[in-house]
Amino acid sequence: MSYFTGLALGLAMILPIGPQNLFVLNSALLGGWRRGTIAALTASVCDTLLIALGATSVAAIFARYPLLRLALLTLGIMFLLILGIGSLRPVAEAAVSKDGAITANQHATPQAPSLPRLVLVGIGFSWGNPHAILDTVAVLGAAIAAQAATARLPFAAGAVTASWLFFLLLLIVGAAFSARLSRWATRWIRRGSGSLMLVFALLLAIEAVGLLH
């Protein structure tokens, strides 16, 4: 029973769209099974480690030091701004040539990052997102601590399973549609992804300003 309770809570926390989910889905859509699998594994392993930390006393640190939350928000804002602007920049630079005419490479797809860089970006989305850290470590950590001693391990295992299952689902959906994407669709996925990252950065900035008052 504790396992399924942890599974349900884990799914409830991971289902809302966020930068990490967007990263896995985009990697599968734009890179197919190989890159999508690496992205899904990276996100799953990162979540597993965060849940393991939540099962320890690390969650108490966030409650004791409120400024740590502000620091995490600031790092998350910077990370999302860099990636969001980076996702939009290739489109903007390829749109117009020096004399104002449309360039020949307007429809070209930006080169995909190397696999090691893909892993690093995945770690950034997982651990550079303050909500992922605070929710996973603090909320799940508190939920795990509230369980009876014998129920904590199956509860945590259920939460871990939720992450792996959800990222596997994103991988399957993204990779299934990957081969059907046109260059036009690829460009707009990148534009939409970059725009969403900027929106997430703005929401984090609003939250950070609220902490200062």
Query: Average pLDDT of 14-31?
Result: 86
pLDDT in tens, 40-97: 999 999 999 888 887 776 656 666 766 777 777 787 788 778 877 877 765 444 444 4
Range of the domain at 159: 2-212
pLDDT in tens, 87-139: 776 544 444 444 444 344 444 444 556 888 899 888 888 887 777 777 777 77
Q: How many CA atoms lie within 13 A of 19 on its CB side?
A: 31
Among residues 21, 70, 4, 8, the alpha carbon closest in space to that of 174 is found at 21
| pTM of this structure | 0.75
Scanning 16-114, the segments in alpha helix (DSSP H) are: 19-54, 59-64, 66-95
pLDDT of residue 68: 73
Residue 168 pLDDT level (bands cut at 50, 70, 90): very high
Q: How many CA atoms lie within 13 A of 211 on its CB side?
A: 16
pLDDT of residue 163: 93
Kindly list the distances between the CA atom of residue 164 and the CA atoms of 19, 119, 193, in Å, as whole numbers in the listed order: 16, 16, 22
What total number of domains does the chain contain?
1
